[in-house]
Amino acid sequence: MHTRGCVPTTVCCLLMLFCPWSGVRCASDEGLAVRGDSAGLPLGQRVKPPAETTPREGFATADSHAEVQTIERWIELLGSGQYALRQRAESVLLQLGADAFDQLKLVEHHPDLEVATRARYILGQMKIEWVHAEDPASIRQWMAHYGELSEANRLDCIARLAALDDPHGLGVLGRIARFDPSPLLSREAALDVIRKISSAEATAAALDTRSIVQELGRSHRRAVAWIRTCLGQRDPDHLGDSAAEVARWTRLVDAEMQLLGTQSTTTDEEIVLKLLHHQLDLCQRLQQSGALVEVLERVINLYVRAGESSASGLAYALDWVLQSEQWQVLDRLVAKYDAAIKTHRELLYRVAAIRAKQGQNERATELANRAFHLETGDVEDRNGLASQLVEMDHFDWAEREWRFVTQSFPVLSDEAMTARTDLSMWLHDRLRYLEAAKLLQEIEDEIRADPQQEKQVLKDPQQRFQITVTSARKEYYFACHAESQGDYVGQRAHLSKAVDRYEIDADVLIAMYRLKGADKAYRQETLKRIKNVSMVLSQQIREYPKNTSLLNHWAWLIANTEGDTRQALAYSRASLKWQPEEASFLDTYARCLYATGDLEGALKQQRKAAQLDPHVHALKRQLAFFEQELASRKQQRENSS
């Protein structure tokens, strides 16, 4: 057993004696050079990596360079005219294992078919140490069988690692970027590392860059080159001219875009888009504003290349301007794409949102009105647009769009039903309970107005279920309104109707559990209902253990009432493994932490949830509750000391 990443001394000596030939390194989709740069080169000719992607000081040593040369000589022998030498080279490279991985990846597409075929065979047989002794227990559990997982499950694992606050996760992602056999997953892991280390909070001093560098080894995979370049951009010791730093990253993006143009299966538009997004952030951080518009134009062209309209790319560009507050970029985009913006409702709204954020409220209102009255586009598209407007924190514009749909379509049409249910949900979030309830009441009134229509609706199981759930939600909103008025008798009546129509709604059961003035019998009946529903959900979770909605539903119900709060915490964590950036799941997780006594942990997770979805008022109210609880406990401790 030898140290990871080093060739045993005895083997090194043997190799140097046995193979005095020059080495070879051929570019491929995974190499640093653009694919095709070294195709057709003589077998003995070496290809030097581009200067901008040569590892910086500290990434490689003279000794490791000698080891690389030795391995390359064995790789060259894979194409020997002598069968015995080819077999011997294959055997030695298999014994070297992960130490030879990086050089073998470079020759997967070697022009010599014998070399390429044997290299791919060796890589397929190679056993990678996915788990290292220094990995935390949770990461060891995730990575224990990583090499045996499907690509989809490995991608899930990458997402879970990227969501970790633990810095060890970055090193493991670097390990995946280096060793995962899938070029796409290697790139995804690298992009997650780049996103984390390039965040506004991350600095070279705050990151354990040494562990990342150690994991990368001497690999020359493209994804690894991205990480190295990004690390260099965060390292004050290596930070040079800002324009040169941007140009260095631009060359990496150019290489990936050229690869995309070859229809290679090792990359895709989404990966290139993420690279461009990092380039935008880099230009912003280094104050290279002149390059921002050029990069945004490349984004727009990328959308067109992917078969989407230029409006989709322009929407992405405007969203970036809105989030980054690069106002000078907006003026140049508007000047260039003025005709497209004027005729597209979604783009007009985005420009309006930017003007509002700039403090130009009159101009923003004018643009929003123009967008609303624009006659182009389908009316049904306004539902999706309204949801986007809420995320832009312009609920007033969204409400107008939803109400327009409710007035433009029959009450029981899919479009109007969607508009009413979505709008009522957001009205409830804004504490406008009565308006939310009345919107859904209109659906019920419409059905009952025509007995034949009611009979038809009730005959269809799917429609019947949808109407049942909607009716229960209507009663819940009425109950919330009654509670806000101090009418607890009325609240109880509406909650009883809601639970009779749809008994597994967690919010209804929680409201029943918290009902003020409830007698003992009502409370016992409520606890019985909660227990029965938790048992039903538990059975469904056993059947569908990866259904995140079921896990979250059970955890939310128990954390807000009574039951096994430790199990609720475990279920909530399980849901986050599959959807780590889902704000509603983080909200549940925070509540579970609070229920198990970890108030500070609850605050941390609730802040994260509120940051992810700042337009959701319920998340802010829960955050305020936790902050008040912490302040109250601190005050109590001070008074008692």
Please name which of 34, 52, 39 lies closest in space to residue 254, comparing C-alpha atoms.
34
The alpha carbon of 431 is separated from its chain's Cα centroid by a whole number of angstroms, namely 30
Q: Please give the span between the terminal C-alpha atoms of the chain, in angstroms, as a whole number.
A: 58
Residue 263: Cβ within 10 Å count: 6
Predicted local confidence at residue 41, as pLDDT? 28
Q: Phi, psi at residue 197, to the nearest 5°? A: -80, -15
Please compute Rg for the chain using Cα positions. 30
Predicted local confidence at residue 115, as pLDDT? 85
Q: Phi, psi at residue 300, to the nearest 5°? A: -60, -45
**How far apart are alpha carbons 281 and 137 in whole angstroms?**
34
Average pLDDT over residues 157-166: 85
Q: Is the dihedral of CA 263, 266, 270, 274 positive or negative?
A: negative
What is the percentage of the chain residues whose pLDDT exceeds 90?
54
**How far apart are alpha carbons 568 and 574 in whole angstroms?**
10
Q: Evaluate if residue 565 carries a pLDDT over 90.
A: yes
Q: What are the angstrom distances between the C-alpha of 142 and each of 138, 146, 291, 368?
A: 6, 7, 41, 48
Q: Kindly report which listed range (238-242, 308-312, 368-372, 524-528) carries the lowest average pLDDT score.
A: 238-242
Residue 80: Cβ within 10 Å count: 16
Q: Evaluate if residue 572 carries a pLDDT over 70.
A: yes
Predicted local confidence at residue 168, as pLDDT? 83
Burial of 357 (0-12, 13-18, 19+ CB in 10 A): middle
Q: What are the angstrom distances between the C-alpha of 96 and each of 103, 129, 233?
A: 12, 13, 33
Average pLDDT over residues 333-349: 92
**How far apart are alpha carbons 495 and 509 in whole angstroms?**
8
Query: What are the structural domains of the chain?
Result: 9-125 (no CATH), 431-533 (no CATH), 544-640 (1.25.40.10)
Please name which of 276, 310, 307 lies closest in space to residue 293, comparing C-alpha atoms.
276
Predicted local confidence at residue 583, as pLDDT? 96
Q: What is the pLDDT of residues 190-242, one digit of tens each?
A: 999 999 888 744 444 456 677 888 888 878 788 999 999 888 876 555 555 77
Burial of 81 (0-12, 13-18, 19+ CB in 10 A): exposed
Confidence band for 51, pLDDT divided at 50, 70 and 90:
very low
As given in the structure block, the two tokens for residue 517 are 């003035």
Confidence band for 8, pLDDT divided at 50, 70 and 90:
very low
**How far apart are alpha carbons 271 and 259 in whole angstroms?**
12
